[in-house]
Amino acid sequence: MVSAITVCYSFSTMGELLLTLLLIGLALLWVLAWRYQRRFAVGTVVGAVVAALVAGIARPFELTQIPIWLPPLPFALVAITLFCFGALAWFWGED
């Protein structure tokens, strides 16, 4: 018979294992980026530091009611971004 403590311990160690493997994989990808494209590697580090600072400063908030416009917002932002890139490619396209 398996006890609840054993199951909880295995889930915590599995989570720690997955997190460790993720960090090792990201570190290896960063080493490859540093080897081939240093600007990309530096930009990745700067972005990670900025994201860590924002995550430390910003507090999570609770929504008691979700506005109707919030769920489709990511799709709208992607559509607007692609439209802007398409317009730029059309104006700056090759002759």
- Taking CA atoms, 41 is separated from 44, 48, 57, in Å, by 5, 11, 25
30 touches 41 (CB < 8 A): yes
Q: Is the pLDDT of residue 9 over 70?
A: no
Give pLDDT tens digits for 50-67: 998 998 898 877 878 888
Q: Is the pLDDT of residue 11 over 90?
A: no
Supply φ then ψ for residue 68, to 5 degrees: -65, -25
The pLDDT of residue 27 is: 92
Residues 58 and 46: their CA atoms lie apart, in Å, by 18
Q: Is the pLDDT of residue 40 over 80?
A: yes
